[in-house]
Amino acid sequence: MMRAYKFLLRPTVRQERALREMLRDHCLLYNSALQERRDAWRHSSKTSVQYGQQSAQLKEIRTFDPERQGRWSFSSQQATLRRLNRAFAAFFRRVKSREKPGYPRFKGAGHFDTVEFPKDGDGCRWDSTPHDTQTRVRLQGIGHVRVHQHRTVRGRVKTISIKREGRRWYVLLACDEVPAEALPATGSVVGIDMGITHFLTTSNGDHAPNPRFLGAMTDRLADAQRALDAFPKRNRLRMKKHRAAARKVAKLHAKIRRQRVDHHYKVANALVRDHDVIAHEKLNTAGMTRAPKPKPDLEHDGAFLANGAAAKAGLNRSILDAGWGLFLGILANKAESAGRRVIPVDARNTSRTCPKCGHVPKGNRTTQANFTCASCGFLANADHVGALNVLNRAGLALCDAA
């Protein structure tokens, strides 16, 4: 199985300057390759430039600019060009399926934060000083950078990526052949229902609290955002105070993200440790958080009727703050590592179906928190009912598979 590891880098002042220059030059390469594709297509010949043609130009580019492009790993520059190629492949796929195309954009200096090295030993070397007690990663053009390795790396390191997050630098390792660490069987099967009032509710009736990290940071984030909005948005040369205001907003968002991920890992570990099989709803978070369509007023030209957009915006914010999609991905990875099984089931009517008699009217859900069956009078917490129905559908799926 594959696993990713993320460690904090401790670069020196000189190494940090070189890391910034590496990102700058890879960003320039990405934007130049994008400009070449745009110009070729705008020409009367409608020429389509492919990755192979741009990769073949790298040798000439490195020879022409040895002080900048020639400093860095050839393989990492190829990975940057493949990144652009994937962006165009996704663009054409969306065009073909008649979705919103989203043409690839030029990357600004603050929006190109990752450089990938496709192979350990080619332009980079993980644990480059094995004789030293301090772990280091060697990067071409930068040197041996100290790593804060807080856990053991298992398996074979395949790719290495360097990522900037605010003022911090991280190394990301993608490892293959990682041995699974199966946990002892518990004989327990559980269904979970994701929610807003409670982060999740199990079929056993247990609730995991929803910390609402974004809500807790709303006031500080609003103050920081107002300070940032006082500066002009389109300014090529930002002042020192402007950069500090932008860093403060980014720092608050990064803290919220770290708190959310930490909470997700703790809840996922608890579920995986206690249960052999975990069933959950197959959720389309993107569709659930889509803004409602405007309702034109047919009696007045140019006017619109109320469509509940304000209330929906608050619900969308709460769903995104909970991070259901991220949590379910973490749960699947943890379960695979521990030898557990995760079963996604159809989420339709899970909160309306009576687990006792199977009656499915809209009136069963009397309030957001309460469930009362209109047929048999079954009373329960609505989230608990949803978890029970998820567990029942998972049992049917296991029977069908058997």
pLDDT digits (tens, 9 = 90+) for 151-166: 999 999 999 999 999 8
CB 3 within 8 A of CB 338: no
Q: Which of 84-93, 327-336, 356-365 has the lowest mean pLDDT?
A: 356-365
Q: What are the φ and ψ backbone dihedral angles of 364, each rounded to 5 degrees?
A: -65, -35
Q: pLDDT at residue 30 above 80?
A: yes
Q: pLDDT at residue 213 above 80?
A: yes
- Any idea what the Cα angle at residue 143 is, between residues 139 and 146, rounded to 5°? 90
What is the pLDDT confidence band of residue 327, given thresholds at 50, 70 and 90? very high
Q: Which carries the bigger pLDDT value, residue 336 or residue 295?
A: 336
- Find, among 38, 34, 30, 108, the residue nearest to 69 by Cα: 30
Mean of all residue pLDDT scores within the chain: 90
Across the range 191-218, mean pLDDT stands at 92
What is the pLDDT confidence band of residue 362, given thresholds at 50, 70 and 90? confident
Task: Please give the pLDDT value at position 358.
Answer: 79
Across the range 205-212, mean pLDDT stands at 92
Task: Please give the pLDDT value at position 233.
Answer: 76
- Any idea what the Cα angle at residue 27 is, between residues 21 and 32, rounded to 5°? 125
Q: How far is CA 89 from CA 46, 49, 84, 94, 330, in A?
A: 17, 12, 9, 9, 27
What is the pLDDT confidence band of residue 104, given thresholds at 50, 70 and 90? very high
Task: Please give the pLDDT value at position 366.
Answer: 67
What is the pLDDT confidence band of residue 396, given thresholds at 50, 70 and 90? low
- Distance of alpha carbon 76 from alpha carbon 17, whole angstroms: 18
Element (H, E) at 71: none
pLDDT tens digits, 284-316 = 888 888 888 888 877 787 787 887 888 888 888
Task: Please give the pLDDT value at position 360.
Answer: 79
Q: Is the dihedral of CA 137, 142, 144, 149 positive or negative?
A: negative
Task: Please give the pLDDT value at position 144.
Answer: 96
- Find, among 365, 376, 337, 367, the residue nearest to 1 by Cα: 337
DSSP secondary structure code for residue 108 in this structure: P
Task: Please give the pLDDT value at position 370.
Answer: 79
- Distance of alpha carbon 167 from alpha carbon 243, whole angstroms: 12
- Find, among 118, 113, 214, the residue nearest to 158 by Cα: 118
Task: Please give the pLDDT value at position 398.
Answer: 66
Dihedral in degrees, nearest 10, Cα atoms 339, 340, 346, 349: -170
Q: How far, in whole angstroms, is CA 167 from its chain's centroid? A: 20
Return all residues near 307 (Cβ < 8 A) that are at least 6 apart.
292, 293, 294, 295
Task: Please give the pLDDT value at position 240.
Answer: 87
Task: Please give the pLDDT value at position 328.
Answer: 94
Task: Please give the pLDDT value at position 304.
Answer: 79
Q: Is the dihedral of CA 45, 48, 53, 58 positive or negative?
A: positive
What percent of the chain lies above the pLDDT cut of 70?
A: 97
What is the pLDDT confidence band of residue 235, given thresholds at 50, 70 and 90? low
Task: Please give the pLDDT value at position 36.
Answer: 95
Q: Is the dihedral of CA 64, 68, 74, 77 positive or negative?
A: negative
Task: Please give the pLDDT value at position 254.
Answer: 92
Task: Please give the pLDDT value at position 372.
Answer: 77
Q: pLDDT at residue 402 above 60?
A: no
Q: What is the pTM of this model?
A: 0.85
pLDDT tens digits, 147-201 = 999 999 999 999 999 999 988 999 999 999 988 888 999 999 999 999 988 999 9
What is the pLDDT confidence band of residue 385, given thresholds at 50, 70 and 90? confident
Q: pLDDT at residue 56 above 90?
A: yes
Q: pLDDT at residue 368 above 80?
A: no
Return all residues near 166 (Cβ < 8 A) that are at least 6 apart.
247, 250, 251, 254
Q: pLDDT at residue 75 above 80?
A: yes
Q: pLDDT at residue 375 above 80?
A: no
DSSP secondary structure code for residue 292 in this structure: P
What is the pLDDT confidence band of residue 236, given thresholds at 50, 70 and 90? low
Q: Which contacts of 21-24 are long-range, i.e. CB under 8 A and separated by 24 or more positions?
A: 21/68, 21/71, 22/71, 22/72, 22/115, 22/139, 22/141, 22/142, 22/162, 23/112, 23/113, 23/115, 23/164, 24/109
Across the range 87-103, mean pLDDT stands at 93
Dihedral in degrees, nearest 10, Cα atoms 262, 268, 269, 270: 110
Q: pLDDT at residue 399 above 70?
A: no
Across the range 215-237, mean pLDDT stands at 87
Task: Please give the pLDDT value at position 50.
Answer: 93
- Find, among 32, 16, 34, the residue nearest to 64 by Cα: 32
